[in-house]
Amino acid sequence: MTVQTWTYILVGLTFTLYIGIAIWSRAGSTKEFYVAGGGVSPLANGLATAADWMSAASFLGMAGLISFSGYDGSVYLMGWTGGYVLLALLLAPYLRKFGKFTVPDFIGDRYYSNVARTVAVICALLVSFTYVAGQMRGVGLVFSRFLEVDINTGVIIGMVIVLFYAVLGGMKGITYTQVAQYCVLIFAFMVPAIFISLQMTGNPIPQLGMGSKISGEGVYLLDKLDGLSAELGFAKYTDGSKSMIDVFFITAALMVGTAGLPHVIVRFFTVPKVRDARKSAGYALLFIAILYTTAPAIAVFARTNLIETVSNKKYADMPKWFSKWEATGLIQFDDKNKDGTIQYVADKKKNELSVDADIMVLANPEIARLPNWVIALVAAGGLAAALSTAAGLLLVISTSVSRDLIKKQINPDISEKGELIAARLSAVVAVCVAGYFGINPPDFVAATVALAFGLAAASFFPAIIMGIFYKKMNREGAISGMVVGILSMLFYMLKFKFDMFGGGAPKDWWFGISPEGFGTVAMLLNFIVSVTVAQFTPPPPEAVQEIVENIRIPNGVGEASVH
């Protein structure tokens, strides 16, 4: 069967599974809609959290990014996985014990202020919309290549699927759908990796294959890739170009950003007990590590195969996959010297080939000439990754509006049925907005995955940490810190990423810190401003200080609070 036929079959089967689960586990109350009734097992929650976290950026983008940046790409592996260690140790059990439904809910009650709640809602919406627009675009790209439909049509199909199970099932439906999506995406990620590792090195374990000798050649794979890169004028794959300070700040920003992402944190409100929150964080870290330790191997395999397939080869002799990706605009060949041969070199004046890093995972099985069903499986996995994260983000958006704005501030007397309707209507609006940005992406969507992490690091992380561990932190300090943190992060990203406020070249970066790493600086500013303001303003009420003391006591926990 053709790739397209296999894709229709596998994508159709997986989508049927997701919709079936959504119908089976649909939410009947606000508690089921917001936190799946608080009854999800640690194992299921770990699987769902892993799927929620591993978005199209993880599944499609990370290995591609590493394949082009080499050693420098390690900051994403260290930062994103390290963030889960922070979550498991510092946040998950305490937030679960506090017993609220959302991050703005925690911040609003802990800092006894609707202003703090509103600032947190704005931060949650900024982070979530930045993230979700990229997911919808990823869905459109996968559909456009493998189902041979227009990208916009692909986005609309994705919108309908997500809308169905997010609006119908709420967190309950999303949780069990994400369990299925994790199984699909990890199988789709590992199968081609194992195939290619066997093909290139004879070792079935990709993580070991990356460091093994190439079958029949007697040379280590990484040494060969270093040599190929050097021949074309690129830096050696195993050499890094980033400064140590920038590596440190990017890694730290990704870590604390991960620990502050609202759609990840809300998952720990869905388990019955505090101990289960810690367990599910451990499971999630294990399940995530499977993909994250495999991504560098896929990056090496894909980069090596790409160079050997296209460099100094006749354009007329290129395999079918090349022209199919060319049709999407994600691979472009410009025959500058009109000799019909692809010159793929580091010198921009001579280089004739541009490759979008996001296609490396999807194109890798085709480049390696794997069976058609494996190629289609990767497409199904990419869709599972994008849809699982999109659903989690959309739920954060709808909950922030229906609970933290309408229920907590605008109309406190709204009935549970009315609140559930508001939550579902908010999800519908959120899907439409996300779909719009997926169809008409602003220039910065693809470039600002780091913006979501930077915003979360600059705003939520300090407020949550001090809310748990520093009982003297008051509302004035927390609000001031969040505002300063998020505004400084936005200013730096807009100035140095998008050439606003007079623009700025890398040589002008403050202290040599890239925009991707500035979230760490903004987080530190948040801490400094919060603590300073708190020293000159009234301390929090005794009742709030007692709550903070109580959430750090291990024994005893109530159910998640509905009021």
pLDDT of residue 91 exceeding 90, the answer is: no
- Report how far residue 232's alpha carbon sits from residue 249's, in angstroms, rounded to the nearest whole number: 31
Question: Measuring CA to CA, how many Å separate 409 from each of 255, 323, 485?
Answer: 32, 55, 24
Q: What is the DSSP letter of 262?
A: H
Most distant CA pair in the chain: distance in Å? 79
* 332-341, 352-361, 425-434, 494-503, range with the lowest pLDDT: 494-503
**Domains of the chain with bracketed CATH:** 3-334+356-551 (1.20.1730.10)
Mean pLDDT of 215-232: 87
Q: What is the DSSP letter of 409?
A: I
End-to-end CA distance of the chain: 55
Mutual angle of helices 475-497 and 114-146, in 10-degree steps: 30
Question: Measuring CA to CA, how many Å separate 526 from each of 74, 260, 475, 483, 519?
Answer: 27, 13, 13, 8, 10
Higher pLDDT, 308 or 266: 308
pLDDT of residue 443 exceeding 60, the answer is: no
Per-residue confidence at 562, pLDDT binned at 50, 70, 90? very low
Question: Which segments within 311-360 are labelled E, that is strand?
Answer: 331-333, 353-355
Using alpha carbons, select from 73, 301, 144 the residue that is nearest to residue 208. 301
Give the pLDDT of residue 122: 87
Please list the residues that pair with 331 across neighbouring strands.
355
Considering the chain, what percentage of its residues have pLDDT values greater than 90?
A: 11
pLDDT of residue 484 exceeding 90, the answer is: yes
Q: C-alpha angle 445/450/454, rounded to 5°?
A: 120
Using alpha carbons, select from 346, 342, 345 the residue that is nearest to residue 333. 342
- Report how far residue 27's alpha carbon sits from residue 103's, in angstroms, rounded to the nearest whole number: 21
Considering the chain, what percentage of its residues have pLDDT values greater than 70?
A: 90
Structure confidence by residue, pLDDT tens digits, 392-433: 777 778 877 887 788 778 888 888 788 778 888 888 888 888
Question: Measuring CA to CA, how many Å separate 295 from each of 63, 109, 211, 238?
Answer: 5, 40, 13, 15
Tokens of 114: 């609707």
pLDDT of residue 534 exceeding 90, the answer is: yes
- Report how far residue 333's alpha carbon sits from residue 342's, in angstroms, rounded to the nearest whole number: 7
- Report how far residue 105's alpha carbon sits from residue 100's, in angstroms, rounded to the nearest whole number: 6
Task: Please state the length of the chain.
Answer: 563
- Phi and psi angles of residue 333, each rounded to the nearest 5 degrees, phi first: -115, 120
Concatenate the DSSP letters of all residues of 17-71 into one string: HHHHHHHHT---SHHHHHHGGG---HHHHHHHHHHHHS-HIIIIIIHHHHHHHGG
Tokens of 133: 């627009």
- Report how far residue 396's alpha carbon sits from residue 404's, in angstroms, rounded to the nearest whole number: 11
* 116-130, 432-446, 536-550, range with the lowest pLDDT: 432-446
Give the pLDDT of residue 50: 85
Answering whether pTM is above 0.85, one says no
SS3 label, residue 446 = coil
pLDDT of residue 445 exceeding 60, the answer is: no
Other CB atoms within a 10 A radius of the CB of residue 101 amount to 24
Please report which helix (H) or strand (E) contains residue 188, including its range.
helix 151-201
Q: What is the DSSP letter of 341?
A: B
pLDDT of residue 132 exceeding 60, the answer is: yes
Is 351 in contact with 345 (CB distance < 8 Å)? yes
Residue corresponding to tokens 């920038």: 246
- Phi and psi angles of residue 355, each rounded to the nearest 5 degrees, phi first: -125, 125
Higher pLDDT, 516 or 532: 532
Alpha-carbon 83 to chain mean position: 12
Burial class (CB within 10 angstroms; exposed 0-12, middle 13-18, buried 19+) of 358:
buried
Structure confidence by residue, pLDDT tens digits, 18-62: 778 777 766 566 666 665 555 788 898 888 888 877 777 677 777
Structure confidence by residue, pLDDT tens digits, 134-162: 677 777 777 776 667 777 787 888 788 77
Concatenate the DSSP letters of all residues of 254-279 into one string: HHHHHHT-HHHHGGGGSSSSHHHHHH
Give the pLDDT of residue 309: 86
- Report how far residue 413's alpha carbon sits from residue 418's, in angstroms, rounded to the nearest whole number: 10
pLDDT of residue 298 exceeding 80, the answer is: yes
Give the pLDDT of residue 34: 60
Using alpha carbons, select from 558, 519, 561 the residue that is nearest to residue 256. 519
Per-residue confidence at 441, pLDDT binned at 50, 70, 90? low
Concatenate the DSSP letters of all residues of 91-138 into one string: IHHHHHHHT-SSHHHHHHHHTT-HHHHHHHHHHHHHHHHHHHHHHHHH
Other CB atoms within a 10 A radius of the CB of residue 5 amount to 12
- Report how far residue 268's alpha carbon sits from residue 287's, in angstroms, rounded to the nearest whole number: 16
Give the pLDDT of residue 414: 83
- Phi and psi angles of residue 16, each rounded to the nearest 5 degrees, phi first: -60, -40
Tokens of 524: 């530190």
Q: What is the DSSP letter of 401?
A: I
* Averaged pLDDT of the chain: 81
Is 473 in contact with 467 (CB distance < 8 Å)? yes
Q: C-alpha angle 6/9/11, rounded to 5°?
A: 100
Range picked from 221-230, 530-539, 551-560 for highest mean pLDDT: 530-539
- Report how far residue 245's alpha carbon sits from residue 277's, in angstroms, rounded to the nearest whole number: 34
Question: Measuring CA to CA, how many Å separate 391 from each of 6, 160, 352, 455, 465?
Answer: 25, 11, 39, 20, 26
Per-residue confidence at 297, pLDDT binned at 50, 70, 90? very high
- Report how far residue 78's alpha carbon sits from residue 430's, in angstroms, rounded to the nearest whole number: 32
Tokens of 418: 């009315």
Mean pLDDT of 109-130: 86
